[in-house]
Structure 1
Amino acid sequence: MSLPIVHHADYDADSVPDRHRFPMRKYSLVAELLRTRGEAMTVPQHAPQRWLNLAHDPDYVTAVLTSSVDAKTARRIGFEMTPAIAARTCASVGGTCLAARLALDHGAAVTLAGGSHHASYEGGAGFCVFNDVAVAARVMLEEGHVRQVAVIDCDVHHGDGTARIFADDRRVFTASIHCEDNWPLEKPPSDLDVGLDKETGDEGYLEALEGFVSAVFERTSPDIVFYNAGVDPHADDRLGRLCLSDDGLKTRDRIVAEACARRAVPIVGVLGGGYSSDAMAVARRHVFMVDALQKVAAVSA
């Protein structure tokens, strides 16, 4: 059985130019790469406000949906808060929610967006408007599809927003492996944090990752895993400060995917960050995670 791949045209907001530090065009490029090799896409609905309110302040949600976010919050996010950005983030959240449902049936699923882990209950930050993984986890829990969730966050930046949202929610185990000497400066504790020294390369990273992933499953027994596969640990990333190669990223994705497969835990892949100036190079690296989860779906079939 093939891996379910979720994509919406709204993932790519035209209002964000290529010169922006956040290469928005990468989302359409990833979809193009996968379509070129014959992959089919499933289109999600935009997340309704009632879902967004499960993880965010309803007043903030309303401000985003009506393009009335205050200037200070918009600066913290890094985007002008336009209707196109609102549509994009609602599509992204909807995509992660759909991928979660599909993962329960197929063993794995991926959405070609998501991983907006800096958004907290109060509001967005760091190019993250709504925390799609947090919303999807709450939707799955509230609808009774799962009882325990784990978030394995391998983006180079600490998953601070996710940690804050679930600080008092024992149903969700949050785990982040990241570059310690990197943004955000304040890193509220996840349930499990591994902070790596800057310039850590493949060998040191993968050794730490093996222990990190093992510790997640020693400390929790999730019904579903959300995997943030940000490619910003790559050596060429402008915001990363780690030194992984393409092969290092491929091995990372394989380790996480296989850990879930061995335990028969459904896994949801989200793209996370990637900030190299070459948007196509970023897109190709994001495909590594799709390939790793494709093997999980094939085994589950």
Structure 2
Amino acid sequence: MKIAFHDIYAHPLPADHRFPMLKYELIPAQLLREGVITPEQLFAPQPASEDNILLTHTAAYWHQLRDQTLTPREQRKIGFPQSPELTMREIVIAQGTADIALHALEHGIGFNVAGGTHHAFADHGEGFCLLNDFAMAANYLLHKRRIRKALIIDLDVHQGNGTAALFADNPDVYTFSMHGAHNYPFHKEVSDWDIPLTDGMDNGTYLGLLEEALPVLINRVKPDLVFYLSGVDILETDKFGKLKVTPQGCLERDEMVFHWLRKHNIPCAVAMGGGYSTHIRDIVNAHCQTFKAGIRIYG
């Protein structure tokens, strides 16, 4: 089992970026402290190549990121002021997802401590996402003919609008999103299958919908690889999630996904996605539960 780890000190960021990035340091630290993983299972990805970036994103947009020429309006849409360090982190994170996907094809499962940047479109970023790591990894594996069919299971509370738009006309990647109906983004794109969730949804209702969907997805798509976005912004403690899912419910969600995929011998590449609880411990604990469940079920 391989985990893409991103050292937040390798590419230091301005102070206003610091809190959202803190979990990337704390998750592996907690997993190491608890003995769930060993240092040998962690790796720091190299930056994605320009050729790989351009399999998904337009040259004009990539050059804006590379040359730091985003307009103030474009930066506001992303939610971060541009910086060379932020762009470097994003291309490293994207390569990490490609690397753990390749690992999953050989060994069953791989994890990215970051990733899940599903609001990035081909020609622009938004919602704290500059480049779409799942889309880049899927396009790379398809281009290299390592897979013929990919399934993206997006269980972040926010719809993967960038991912849906990127694969709207691509039958080789099936996009599935369970997300808050009245949450960001307020204009939704059309995934291959969207399940909108009502505000205040509890464990039982949420897990029931997922339990019904998973066997249909597996039988309909028959994927060579699943990309799983395991956002923990579904938690009742999340500042923006609007759902009432408990930490136990979040764990059962992950277990359900992993059990179904393992039962059908489908490799899984996992990225963490969002989490905005007031206390960072709630975010980190929930993400660590995802790692523990995947490691236990895939063995």
TM bin, normalised by shorter chain, reads over 0.9
Change (3 A) 1:11 1:237: farther
Name segments (4+ residues, structure 1) moved above 6 Å: none
Does the 8 Å contact 1:112/1:270 carry over to 2? yes
Q: Higher RCO, 1 or 2 (CA under 8 Å, sep at least 6)? A: 1
Contact 1:64 1:86 in 2 (8 A): yes
| Contact in 2 for aligned 1:108/1:296 (Cα 8 Å) | no
Correspondence for 1:256: 257
Q: Is the CA contact 1:153–1:229 (under 8 Å) kept in the aligned structure 2?
A: yes
Aligned to 2:127: 126
Aligned to 2:32: 35
For 2:119 and 2:10, locate their aligned partners in 1 and report how far apart those are by CA, in whole Å: 19
Letter in 2 for 1:220: V
**Count of paired positions:** 295
**TM-score normalised by length of structure 1:** 0.94
Match of 1:285 in 2: 286
Matches within 5 A, 1:142-157: 142-157=143-158
3-state SS of 1:23 partner: helix
Aligned to 1:163: 164
Could you tell me how far 1:34 is from its partner in structure 2? 1.6
More deviation, 119-128/272-281:
272-281
Q: 2:92, 2:9 → 1: CA distance?
A: 6
- The DSSP-based 3-state class of the residue aligned with 1:9 is coil
Code of the aligned partner of 1:72: R
Instruction: Specify the alignment match of 1:271 in structure 2.
Output: 272
Structure 2 regions of 5+ residues with no counterpart? none
Once residues 90 and 47 of structure 2 are traced to their aligned partners in structure 1, the CA distance between those partners, rounded to angstroms, is 8
Tell me which moved more, 30-39 or 155-164: 30-39
**SS, match of residue 126 in structure 1:** coil
Task: Name the CA shift for 1:156/1:16 in 2 (closer, same or farther; >3 Å).
Answer: farther
Q: Does structure 2 retain, via aligned residues, the 8 Å contact 1:77–1:126? A: yes
Deviations 1:139-173 (A, max 9, x none): 01001100000000000001110000000000000
Shift of 1:67: 1.7
Shift of 1:16: 4.8
Q: Within 5 Å, which residues of 2 pair with 1:161-240?
A: 161-240=162-241
TM-score (norm 2): 0.95
Partner of 1:113: 114
Q: Distance in 2 between matches of 1:131 and 1:147?
A: 20
Q: 1:224 to 1:11 in 2, by over 3 A?
A: farther
Q: Distance in 2 between matches of 1:293 and 1:62?
A: 37
Query: Cα distance, 1:291 vs. partner?
Result: 1.0
> Does the 8 Å CA contact 2:211/2:256 hold for their aligned counterparts?
yes
1:88-99 matches, cutoff 5 A: 88-99=89-100
The 1:182–1:12 alpha-carbon spacing in structure 2 relative to 1, beyond 3 Å, is: farther
Q: CA RMSD in A?
A: 1.6
Q: Distance in 2 between matches of 1:66 and 1:8?
A: 23
Q: 1:19 to 1:86 in 2, by over 3 A?
A: closer
Q: 1:277 to 1:12 in 2, by over 3 A?
A: farther
Gaps of 5+ in 1: none
C-alpha displacement of 1:126 = 0.2
Q: Distance in 2 between matches of 1:72 and 1:182?
A: 22
Q: Report the alpha carbon displacement of residue 43 of structure 1 after superposing the two structures with TM.
A: 1.9
- Pick from 21, 32, 38: which aligns with 1:24? 21
User: Quick one: which amino acid aligns to residue 31 of structure 2?
Assistant: L
State the match for 1:56 in structure 2. 57
Judging changes above 3 Å, is the alpha-carbon distance between structure 1 residues 204 and 11 closer, same or farther for their aligned structure 2 residues?
Answer: farther
